[in-house]
A and B are shown apart, each in its own frame.
Chain A
Amino acid sequence: MGIIHINKVKYEYIRRDEENNVEGITTAVDGVSLAVEPGEFIAILGHNGSGKSTLAKHINAILYPSEGSVVVDGMDTQDEEHLLQIRQTAGMVFQNPDNQIIGQIVEEDVGFGPENMGVPTKEIWERVKESLKAVGMYEYRSYSPNKLSGGQKQRVSIASVIAMHPKCIILDEPTAMLDPMGRREVIRAVRALNDVEKITMILITHYMEEVIYADRVFVMDKGKVAMGGTPKEIFSRVSELRDLRLDVPQVTELAYELKCAGVPLPDGILTREELTQALQKVKKLRDPHS
């Protein structure tokens, strides 16, 4: 039994002119179906305007599908009754770290979710402690969020979601506004939570390097799922990705170009280590005596 079922979801933005007449309809998500198993690490890729963020907001019941349905842990998101429970099951981390931190100091922000859920005071403190430790921000618990770096702020945001004990976390381009250092920090935290706590992760991004650790990758284009599969499968299809205006990781690109130039390399090389190994193999084949 999967944790999230997205069933032929369609979402339309209705554009209106100044007199409130319908000017046009933009279909942001167009008939997407997805099923996510508990504990999976899913990545959704796509360039700007491909509908990936809109899709993410459906899982958290911030947006409702115009057609189709989204079921989170057996609860339909259209069901008003389950609204709070759905938001607790599927936590969400947004793009801008400044605009999602509510508390004036770190620990207060992490406590905000449990406070809303009506968790008793003593347990709130326990939850705050364990979630800040899980993202490695416990030493900063009494800092003002304004004094933290972008990566640290985003880790606090993740801790704030973990404190609600979700089964699944949706990260909507959490690294888009961060520098490379911050990006690494955040992705490391996300992977650790997926590995250790077995929290289902749905990472929405347009950085290819972040995707290689995912169990499955979906590429969205014009509101539809254009490609789906393991990172290896996806990144073997370099030319297709380019048609969707997406880059592949540098290493993969290098391997692809080498292959086009006639070097016999396997498809879908993702890391530097893989490439070195493959190249060494090639070297041995060509020159067995060295």
Chain B
Amino acid sequence: MDPRTKLLGTLVYLVSLFLFASLPVYALAAVFLIFVMILSKVPFSYMVKGLKPVLFFLVFTIMMNMFLVKGEVIWTFWKLQVTREGLRQSFYMGARLILLILGSNLMTLTTTPTRLTNAIEAVMKPLRLIKVPVHEIAMMMSIALRFIPILLDETDKIMKAQMARGADFESGNLIKKAKSMIPVLVPLFISAFRRANDLAMAMEARCYHGGKGRTQMKPLKYAGRDYIAYVVLLLYLTGLILLGKYSAELLKLLGI
């Protein structure tokens, strides 16, 4: 699928989560996400793994909402009060966050960084009218991605070199540890600048002169499935808005 479709789709999905706060809407959003997840064939365990790093944040947000929102008290424990409104709020917040993270994970798991950069460049193209250097930003992003592993390697090398000279990175408190990183950062920065200089020269030597008059090796092309995806997305969005508007009535009908 075209990365632009994925990018726009994810954006629309993320925004849609914030439009309404009601049970049926979240149910629809969750069903939609599960549907897309099944289509993407990304193993479920991978998706859940993406939740792990934000678990603490998630629990924290839920707790805060649960205890701090004022309203009808239903349960008291020591100085903490759980209110009906707080419970509802924390449930919405939790659901929203989980769907948010799963949704964006789905995009990053199914798209290579290069294609994502291409998509960002394509989507931001209209901004060129107000003199935003879109191509340059995209180029910077892709070069940064290319150099991350190289610089990581280099950090490792410098740390070992400094350790061989008796530097100590492990002991001491946080401030001391941060201070001990200076002998690593200084050479790292110097080498990064040197690399940047070399790279700029190499790019110039290969006729790089900005985005003007450039062709693309892998141009983005919409295929049939992209149009289908857009239609599905539109259906989802209308459904969601309708559901959001009339969710109160719907709940009443169901007798909840």
Q: With A94-B202, A104-B113, A128-B217 in contact, do A117 and B195 touch (Cβ < 8 Å)?
A: no
B207-A94 in contact (CB<8A): no
**9 A-B pairs with C-beta separation under 8 A:** A84-B209, A91-B205, A100-B199, A107-B217, A116-B214, A118-B213, A119-B215, A121-B215, A125-B217
Contact of A124 among B113, B149, B206, B215 (CB under 8 A): B215
Q: Which residue on B lies nearest to A107, using beta carbons?
A: B217
Interface residue? B60 (CB, 8 A): no
B195-A113 in contact (CB<8A): no
Interface residue? B42 (CB, 8 A): no
Q: Which of B178-221 contact A (CB under 8 A)?
A: 195, 198-199, 201-209, 213-219
A121-B219 in contact (CB<8A): yes
B207-A146 in contact (CB<8A): no
7 pairs of A and B residues whose beta carbons are closest in the complex: A100-B202, A111-B217, A99-B198, A116-B207, A113-B206, A92-B205, A124-B217
Binds A, one of B67-75, B100-108, B139-147, B231-239: B139-147
Chain A 26-66: CB-based contact to B (< 8 A → 1; otherwise 0) = 00000000000000000000000000000000001010000
A115-B215 in contact (CB<8A): yes
Interface residue? A7 (CB, 8 A): no
Contact of B199 among A99, A111, A164 (CB under 8 A): A99
Separation of A115 and B213 alpha carbons in the complex (Å):
9
A91-B206 in contact (CB<8A): yes
Interface residue? B114 (CB, 8 A): yes
Interface residue? B150 (CB, 8 A): yes
Q: Which residue on B lies nearest to A87, using beta carbons?
A: B207
B205-A115 in contact (CB<8A): no
B202-A102 in contact (CB<8A): yes
Size category of the B interface is: 20 to 34
Interface residue? A131 (CB, 8 A): no
Q: Which of B57-103 contact A (CB under 8 A)?
A: none
Interface residue? A161 (CB, 8 A): yes
Kindly provide the distance from the CB of B35 to the nearest chain A CB, expressed in whole angstroms: 31
B204-A115 in contact (CB<8A): no
B209-A116 in contact (CB<8A): yes
Separation of A101 and B149 alpha carbons in the complex (Å):
13
Kindly provide the distance from the CB of B203 to the nearest chain A CB, expressed in whole angstroms: 6
Contact of A121 among B113, B198, B199, B217 (CB under 8 A): B217
Size category of the A interface is: 35 or more
Which residues from A are CB-within-8-Å of B219? 121
Interface residue? A266 (CB, 8 A): no
Interface residue? A96 (CB, 8 A): yes
B206-A116 in contact (CB<8A): yes
Which residues from A are CB-within-8-Å of B142? 104
Q: Which residue on A lies nearest to B207, using beta carbons?
A: A116
Chain A 85-106: CB-based contact to B (< 8 A → 1; otherwise 0) = 0011001101010111111110
Contact of B208 among A62, A92, A105, A116 (CB under 8 A): A116
Cross-chain pair count, CB within 8 angstroms: 88
A-side interface residues toward B, CB under 8 Å? 60, 62, 84, 87-88, 91-92, 94, 96, 98-105, 107-108, 111-121, 124-125, 128, 145-146, 160-161, 164
Kindly provide the distance from the CB of A152 to the nearest chain B CB, expressed in whole angstroms: 15
A146-B215 in contact (CB<8A): no
Separation of A160 and B208 alpha carbons in the complex (Å):
13
Which residues from A are CB-within-8-Å of B150? 98, 146
Q: With A100-B198, A121-B219 in contact, do A146 and B204 touch (Cβ < 8 Å)?
A: no
B143-A102 in contact (CB<8A): yes
Which residues from B are CB-within-8-Å of A114? 215, 217
B207-A113 in contact (CB<8A): yes
Contact of B114 among A108, A115, A161 (CB under 8 A): A108
Separation of A39 and B214 alpha carbons in the complex (Å):
30
A115-B217 in contact (CB<8A): yes
Separation of A118 and B214 alpha carbons in the complex (Å):
5
Kindly provide the distance from the CB of A99 to the nearest chain B CB, expressed in whole angstroms: 4
Contact of B205 among A60, A105, A117, A125 (CB under 8 A): A60
Q: Which residue on A lies nearest to B210, using beta carbons?
A: A116
A62-B204 in contact (CB<8A): yes
Which residues from B are CB-within-8-Å of A121? 215-219
B195-A115 in contact (CB<8A): no
Q: With A100-B199, A104-B114, A104-B142 in contact, do A164 and B217 touch (Cβ < 8 Å)?
A: no
Which residues from A are CB-within-8-Å of B205? 60, 62, 87, 91-92, 94
Which residues from A are CB-within-8-Å of B199? 99-100, 102
Kindly provide the distance from the CB of A139 to the nearest chain B CB, expressed in whole angstroms: 19
A84-B207 in contact (CB<8A): yes
B149-A146 in contact (CB<8A): yes
Separation of A102 and B204 alpha carbons in the complex (Å):
11
Kindly provide the distance from the CB of A135 to the nearest chain B CB, expressed in whole angstroms: 16
Kindly provide the distance from the CB of A8 to the nearest chain B CB, expressed in whole angstroms: 24
